[in-house]
Amino acid sequence: MGSYRMCMCFTRKFRVTEAEPPRDVKEAFNKYAEGGTHMTAEQLQRFLLEFQADGGVGGGAAESDAERIVEQVLQKRHHIAKLISRRTLTLDDFHHYLFSPDLNPPIRDQVHQDMTAPLSHYYIYTGHNSYLTGNQLSSDCSDVPIIKALKRGVRVVELDIWPNSTKDNVHVLHGRTLTTPVELSKCLKSIQEHAFSESPYPVIITLEDHLTPALQAKVAQMLIQTFGEMLFYPESDCLKELPSPEELKYRIIISTKPPEEYRKAKTSNEKEHDSHKSEEDLWGKEPSELTEEHEDDDTSDSDSSEDNSHSNRGSFSSGEHEYKRLITIHAGKPKGGLKEALKVELDKVRRLSLSEQALEKAAESHGTDVVRFTQKNILRVYPKGTRFNSSNYKPLIGWMHGAQMVAFNMQGYGRSLWLMHGMFRANGGCGYVKKPDFIMNESDNQIFDPKAKLPVKKTLKVKVYMGDGWHLDFKQTHFDLYSPPDFYTRVGIAGVPADEIMKKTKKKEDDWTPVWEEEFTFPLRVPELALLRVEVHEYDMSEKDDFGGQTCLPVSELRQGIRAVPLFDRKGTKYNSVRLLMQFEFI
């Protein structure tokens, strides 16, 4: 008797029933197939134009697009021989088409934004300590995470450069930690080989420089030898405005402090603490332990005009000159406090770096000044030093204030990193996303104030129909030993604080292909900065709920209509089969 019950249990567990198409899909099929049992390419084309509000696959709903879809679906679903006899879709074929992420994705995959504005007009996909394989204190330094980041579309790579033990070569490592070094030349070579594997737009290398003048000269040589023609640097000493991503296609640009500032800072600051410490080296100190002066000194790196005084240039060696010449985006520490650091200068562009806490403080007291600064200059935000485990912070505070380089530990993972992945799925995943016009508005009474109470601009309606694919991507016993999983979906918005919310569906018990058919409405004040968050979890009565997939999608990029939404694992790798069927509508 026992073995019989066991057998029953297992047949129940392994049974995966094909869920039938949701009611909306059936109704759309009936309407566009005009009551028939088959839908022609012409009828599908009408559905794409009217129901999906779709400019078709390539932008204009041509009949050839619809014909190509019909052909692809039939090829995928049926034996090739059947192709000859019919060129129409059944209800199941139509459902299969709608539920295929490769044929019917939720967002477009082409670059479609204007790429001819200065670099400061874009959010740029930015890595932090890009060379670390794991945590910030003891993991190995390697070129492998750099390659991974570039293949994900990251466009800003950060390298901390230090003299090696014999002071005759340059190593990349996280200073004053136990991280094992990797040679700079190896990292540069890997950047050169993989920079444009995912995107043609420029790669910016930010150097955290701890070198002697002789080694700086050596780095200049390495950069020229490794990158050759790929390396872009300005003719003049300082740029008034940055070039555009379009002008800089397939180019590498360098951002760091000019050598004389670095040396000047060192002599003037030795009394208090070794300014050889980089802006990120205050290990283990929470902001409360830092004096105001320390905070400004160690978290801001902007160029102040006095620092470029000619009297200082006499001490240059020719090698240093070469190194300085290669810097396109100048960084440096400001004289005075934050107000000074945020001054916009007419005749030059610079980069300012703030820790996540320094940005929060700046946002509190000088929010609109920060926005104004970023219209022309580059603001880089980086994780606080106490994030030893390579975790991340909320990226939206930076984006709301126009920060182009919100630097993230790409080797960590978690919800903040999912938001970063989501943001840079926009614009064809090319690593550059144009800032909304309101952030770039320069007239004084129109400077965007992230703290202002704003009216609802647009409402997004999201319907979660069903999910599928877990039985293919997970072991049968992954979620529950003796029964099928109990899935529910969380859907919500990350964006400006007033737009942030999470909702969830009811749980669907014992089903590998759950059908929820639930609708959610999200009023949005700043839809341009909103990300749609989607997570699937498996309800577990006794322990923490199991994770079943996630994705983040830029709301501004969502294609209306019924779409197949592929899900990703915790680290952001796409599952082979797990996906949701959802509908998006703007009202």
List, by residue number, the catalytic residues.
Answer: 128, 174
Q: How far is CA 381 from CA 293, 414, 433, 558, in A?
A: 19, 18, 17, 28
CA torsion sign, 199 to 431 to 389 to 416? negative
488 & 572 share domain? yes
Let me know whether 169 and 282 are in one domain.
Answer: yes
Handedness of CA 569, 573, 576, 580 (dihedral sign): positive
Q: Is the pTM of this model over 0.85?
A: yes
**What pLDDT score does 268 carry?**
52
Ramachandran bin of 466, using left for φ above 0, alpha for ψ from -120 to 50, beta for the remaining angles: beta
Is 418 in the same domain as 489? no
Q: Helix, strand, or coil here: 535?
A: strand
- pLDDT of 175 reads 87
Q: Is the domain of 204 the same as that of 244?
A: yes
Residues in the chain: 587
Tell which residue, 195, 168, 192, 173, has the closest CA to residue 183: 173
* Res 308: pLDDT: 34
Q: What distance separates the 2 farthest-apart alpha carbons in the chain? A: 95
In a domain? residue 294: yes
- Asked if 494 and 552 count as a contact pair (C-beta separation under 8 A), the reply is yes
Where the chain has pLDDT below 70, the residues are 1-15, 55-62, 79-85, 261-318, 333, 444
Of the candidates 219, 201, 199, which has an alpha carbon nearest to the alpha carbon of residue 209? 219
Final residue of a structural domain among 98, 132, 148 = 98
pLDDT at 302: 36
Instruction: Report yes or no on 200 lying in a domain.
Output: yes
Residue 3 placed within a domain: no
Tens-place pLDDT, residues 446-475: 899 888 899 999 999 999 999 999 999 999
The answer to whether residue 451 is domain-embedded is no
Residues 433, 466, single domain; the answer is: no
Q: Which amino acid is at 370?
A: V
- Asked, for residue 428, whether it belongs to a domain, the answer is yes
Last residue of a domain, one of 379, 407, 437: 437
Same domain, 177 and 51: no
Spell 370-380 as b/e; 16+ CB within 10 A means b. Answer: bbbbbbbbbbb
Phi then psi for residue 573, to 5 deg, are -90, 135
CB under 8 Å to 452, separation ≥6 — which residues? none
Q: What is the pLDDT of residues 104-132, one digit of tens each?
A: 999 999 999 999 999 999 999 999 999 99
294 class by beta-carbon count within 10 Å (0-12 exposed, 13-18 middle, 19+ buried): middle
CA dist 326 → 141, 219, 241 (Å) = 25, 10, 16
Helix (H, G, I), strand (E, B) or coil at 527: helix
The number of domains in the chain is 3
| In a domain? residue 109 | no
Handedness of CA 373, 374, 375, 376 (dihedral sign): positive
Range of the domain at 87: 15-98
Predicted pLDDT of residue 12: 52
